[in-house]
Chains A and B, each alone.
Chain A
Amino acid sequence: MSVRNLRIEFPTRRGTLVAVDDISFDISPGEILGVVGESGAGKSLTGAAIIGLLEPPGRIAQGEILLEGRRIDNLPYEQLRRIRGRQIGAIFQDPLTSLNPLYSISRQLVETIQTHLPLNDREARTRALALLDEVGIPSAGERIDHYPHQFSGGMRQRVVIALALCAEPRLIIADEPTTALDVSIQAQIISLLKGLCHEHGTAVMLVTHDMGVIAEAADRVAVMYSGRIAEIGPVQEVIRTAKHPYTHGLMGSIPLIGHHVKKLTQIDGAMPRLQEIPAGCPFNPRCEKVMDCCRVERPNLQTVQKSRVACHLFDGADGEARAGE
């Protein structure tokens, strides 16, 4: 799955807001790409755009989305809908709203399976049972006929994962799948998701604001800021040796157990609103290492070690030396 130069705009009566501005990334089969950023960074919109669930008036203004080499962002609605269920699965933050409260779990699963796979009722039910088993629902045979409200939050999220896996999709978009859950349940869901994807070779785009979840689950991570990718690279590298000053500040602002600090590193200010994104690098008003060119020229992603970073600090050959400080 690849995203090329994606740009999402919101036309409003006070002018057009650019929520996502020229981002590109790939996810290979079996890989989990974490997309992390603060609220309003455009990470959920990117996910929604890929599934084709962008809410109007939001629209893709530019760029393309390719799934296994085939362009899907310009498909007519009907075709897109088929692909959405068959090849792209979705997991959202609130499991309660993704399940229909009026139907039993079995009915929802069987229906979804039969929409995408040519199975009869019995076969579909068998498959549903196997799926529930796979996502770790205890005594699935008994619980399959229960209704969503009879499940706890963690179990519901497991059911949603089972639903997303129904048609053996090539790609799963998971938007804050653990945010509504307690820490102990979070850990369960993450390891489940991770295991399943590696097993089935499914590509996953994991959208979250929680660095902990990323560290735990993702293979690579893209850090978004003001609708742009600030840094993208292998998760270890980004977390341990963050290159972009924003990522660096972000990592420092997370309190860690076992590290007593008097004060957390803090990035002053807040992410600019969409209508107030400054020229040049969007992070320049808050950046400690700001240079003159940052206020004028927008930095492009460039390769530094195994990562790609959008920061003028890495312009030219001595970039790494300057960032080393």
Chain B
Amino acid sequence: MNDASKNAAAPLLSVDGLVRHFDVSAPFLNRLFERLDRSYVKAVDGISFDIGRGETFSLVGESGCGKSTVARLIVGLYQPTAGSIQYEGVEIGPREAAAARKRMQPHMQMIFQDPYASLNPRWRVAEIVAEPIHVRGLLQGKREILARVGELLTQVGLSPADGERYPHEFSGGQRQRISIARALAGEPEFLVCDEPTSALDVSVQAQILNLMKDLQDRLGLTYLFISHDLAVVYHVSTKVGVMYLGRLVEWAETNTLFENPRHPYTRMLLDAIPDLEMSGRQRIPVAGEVPSPINPPSGCAFHPRCPHVEARCRIEAPLPRIYDGVHVACHAVADGRIS
């Protein structure tokens, strides 16, 4: 556990109070005539976590909880509305930190969900994989670059000869391998994976997950893994954060979180997983649905679905507190009403 304490001291990536609101107001003229206010989706509403070097940190949650937005904020596809993102201690979040962002950007790469949309259909695979090499100027000379591309394709389980083909000639799993090869071409140390296996069949998902673990061991990569599938998250991650309506409700070491979930929402999610072992465990289907993030419930956003709700939950949003290394944002846990 020595390593862990060292990681905690100097995280590779640290996010503090990250906020991103999207303007979803009606057009100006409509607002003027219909007397509407501007409205915002609070996609990410104050999130803090750290990722240590070599870890896999997963964010789980249902659709619309803002987990993909967090991924895109970290790689700079979106500008944060507020809050800080520090990479190796360097602030790269705010607009003013554009120069630092540019310096740090090459260290991170992203893998996307849709293997059909994430590769330019008009480029050959070799060109797609070589793009980061060109942009970063890692290698000069056609021959060197092609040799490197061949090496990368081999690394992800394809053949160098595949480089001359076009994306549409490959299956979903193979395309995801190409995506991974492209991400690795930039020689990153930090990979953000946004639902990399959600669009794949289970047997192919297993191939990709194994490949990603394998690469992590060999190249010492750090992952931020976004997924809605708790079983996948359990399998790949060292730490897990559970998101609900733009907030992180609980984050902890994977084993701790799955063995002893504290937040009622985490418990609910775990309960909802289909029982594949057919152990006959009786599941309690969870009532209710995720509210709209445009108009989230007051106080704790989970209160309308929470079995432990109290008057206070409806008014006051709980702040995350640490219990034995587990970060939980819940009044009931704080008051000791649930262990």
Contacts and interface: CB of A to CB of B under 8 A. Distances in A.
Any A–B CB pair closer than 8 Å? yes
Interface of A: 38-39, 152-155, 182-188, 190-191, 209-213, 215-216, 235-236, 239-240, 249-250, 252-258, 261-268, 270
A39 B286 CA distance: 29
B202 A250 contact: yes
A184 B278 contact: no
Given A155-B289, A187-B283, A239-B278, 18 more contacts: A38-B201, A38-B203, A182-B228, A187-B272, A188-B287, A209-B201, A215-B275, A240-B277, A253-B202, A253-B205, A254-B231, A256-B234, A256-B277, A257-B230, A257-B273, A264-B206, A266-B203, A267-B203
B268 A184 contact: yes
Contacts of A190: 274
A138 to B, nearest CB: 10
Contacts of A239: 276, 278
A265 B271 CA distance: 25
Given A182-B290, A183-B273, A270-B204, A263 B210 contact: yes
A253 to B, nearest CB: 3
Contacts of B277: 240, 256
A182 B63 contact: yes
Interface string B273-295: 11111100001011101100000
B62 interface: yes
A240 B290 contact: no
Contacts of A253: 202-203, 205-206
A215 B274 contact: yes
B285 A211 contact: no
Of A191, A240, A264, A267, most buried by chain B (CB within 10 Å of CB) is A264
A188 B286 contact: yes
Contacts of A188: 285-287
A191 to B, nearest CB: 5
Interface of B: 62-63, 171-174, 201-207, 209-210, 213, 228-232, 234-235, 258, 268-278, 283, 285-287, 289-290
Contacts of A263: 210, 213
Majority DSSP secondary structure for residues of B touching A: helix
A39 B115 CA distance: 14
Contacts of B209: 255, 264
B201 A257 contact: no
Contacts of A185: 289
A152 B269 contact: no
Contacts of A258: 234, 258
A154 B204 CA distance: 28
Given A39-B201, A209-B201, A249-B203, A256 B276 contact: yes
Nearest to B291: A152
Nearest to A273: B171
B157 to A, nearest CB: 9
Nearest to B61: A182
A188 B287 CA distance: 8
28 contacts: A38-B204, A153-B289, A182-B62, A182-B63, A183-B62, A183-B229, A184-B62, A186-B274, A187-B272, A187-B274, A187-B283, A187-B285, A188-B287, A191-B283, A211-B274, A211-B276, A212-B275, A215-B275, A215-B278, A236-B278, A255-B235, A256-B276, A258-B258, A261-B235, A266-B207, A267-B203, A267-B206, A267-B207
A184 B206 CA distance: 23
A267 B229 CA distance: 21
Contacts of B268: 184
Nearest to A192: B285
A257 B258 contact: yes
Contacts of B286: 184, 187-188
A86 B278 CA distance: 35
Contacts of A191: 283, 285
Contacts of A155: 289
Contacts of B271: 187
Of B203, B275, B287, B289, most buried by chain A (CB within 10 Å of CB) is B203
Contact of B278 (A39, A182, A209, A240): A240
B62 A212 contact: no
A255 B234 contact: yes
Contacts of B270: 257
Nearest to A154: B289
